[in-house]
């Protein structure tokens, strides 16, 4: 399995050879290795000089996407939109404004407006808040504990604009995420799939694209991470086929956060991290 991980990193460097000179200058551990010719015929490093991890929130840290999907589907029905829950998963990561604008353009052939978005989103939040509090995704705490032990910077990059975001993270993941290292829909002009949220995440972490990884569950989030030039790991915690994530450019795919947590000891060796005690 470690050879699969190494090949994925080599593919990343093949895609971003412009980063390689700068990365080699700062990390002596980078070593070249020949990877499968079906991927690339050149020699690229199979290590990443990891310093930060950028996490999506819903569907990665919290098992909240079923409630979000049902809430969006219900409010769209109430306001006259013909939307299936599957479409919510495909549009996950967008800001509320952009999400509604996609649906409005398709259904009515027009753009939405701030007043309409406010009405719809307020009602959506009412529906969502009536659901039981979403639990943590299985395996997320285990992964975060390992990452914290590795002293990697942790950043949350979410399309959510919930006012209770910081409180929620602090309550369920105490000591893991600093308030100044959260990127929400309130912080960006362009949400996912635009790379802006993850570029801001890099800025908040104080690292370069090749010094971070993205952990995402949404196709548009994967696209955003890849567009930001970051090694992007997809975790398929929802109902979508694996192809929905791989087609957006995910460098690695895991079936769950638990699987990623269990793979971390192998992955960390390829991230240039020193052995843990």
Domain boundaries, the chain: 2-45, 52-64+136-270, 65-129
- pLDDT 10s digit of each residue in the chain, 277 long? 678 999 999 999 999 988 988 887 665 555 544 444 344 435 688 888 999 999 999 999 999 999 999 999 999 999 999 888 889 999 998 888 999 999 999 999 999 999 999 999 999 999 998 999 889 999 999 999 999 999 999 999 998 877 676 788 989 999 999 999 999 988 999 999 999 999 999 999 999 999 999 999 999 999 999 999 999 999 999 999 999 999 999 999 999 999 999 999 999 989 988 766 5
Name the residue among 15, 72, 82, 12 with its Cα closest to residue 48: 12
Burial code (b: 16+ CB inside 10 Å, e: under 16) for 167-193 equals ebbeebbeebbeeebbbbbebbeebbb
* Residue whose pair of structure tokens reads 């569907």 in the numeric block: 59
Q: Which two tokens stand for residue 229?
A: 């030039």
**How many CB atoms are located within 10 Å of the residue 145 CB?**
14
Distance CA 147, CA 142 (A): 9
Helices (H), the chain: 2-15, 17-26, 65-78, 85-90, 96-108, 114-129, 140-149, 165-172, 196-205, 219-227, 242-246, 257-270
Q: Which DSSP category does 255 fall into?
A: S
pTM of the model: 0.90
**Dihedral sign, Cα of residue 261, residue 263, residue 265, residue 269:** negative
Q: What would the CATH number be for the domain defined by 65-129?
A: 1.10.150.240
Task: For 52-64+136-270, give the CATH class.
Answer: alpha beta
């Amino acid at each position: 399995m470690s050879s699969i991980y190494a090949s994925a990193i080599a593919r990343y460097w093949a895609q971003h050879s412009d980063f390689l000179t700068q990365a080699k200058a700062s990390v002596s551990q980078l070593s070249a290795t020949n990877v499968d010719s079906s991927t690339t015929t050149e020699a690229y490093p199979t290590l990443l000089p990891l310093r930060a991890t950028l996490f999506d929130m819903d569907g990665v840290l919290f098992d909240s996407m079923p409630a979000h999907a049902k809430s969006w589907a219900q409010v769209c029905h109430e306001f006259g939109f013909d939307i299936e829950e599957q479409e919510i998963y495909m549009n996950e990561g967008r800001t509320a404004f952009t999400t509604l604008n996609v649906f409005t353009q398709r259904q009515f052939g027009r753009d939405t407006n701030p007043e309409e978005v406010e009405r719809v989103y307020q009602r959506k939040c009412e529906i969502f808040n009536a659901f039981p509090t979403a639990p943590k995704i299985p395996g997320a705490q285990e992964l975060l504990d390992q990452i914290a032990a590795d002293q990697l910077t942790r950043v949350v990059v979410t399309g959510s604009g919930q006012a209770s975001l910081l409180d929620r993270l602090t309550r369920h993941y105490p000591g893991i995420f600093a308030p100044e290292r959260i990127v929400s829909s309130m912080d960006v002009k362009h949400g996912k799939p635009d790379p802006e949220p993850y570029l801001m995440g890099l800025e908040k972490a104080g690292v370069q694209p090749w010094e971070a990884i993205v952990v995402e569950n949404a196709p548009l989030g994967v696209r955003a991470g890849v567009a930001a030039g970051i090694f992007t790991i997809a975790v398929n915690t929802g109902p979508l086929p694996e192809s929905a994530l791989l087609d957006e450019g995910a460098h690695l795919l895991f079936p769950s956060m638990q699987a990623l947590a269990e793979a971390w000891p192998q992955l960390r060796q390829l991230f240039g991290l020193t052995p843990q005690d």
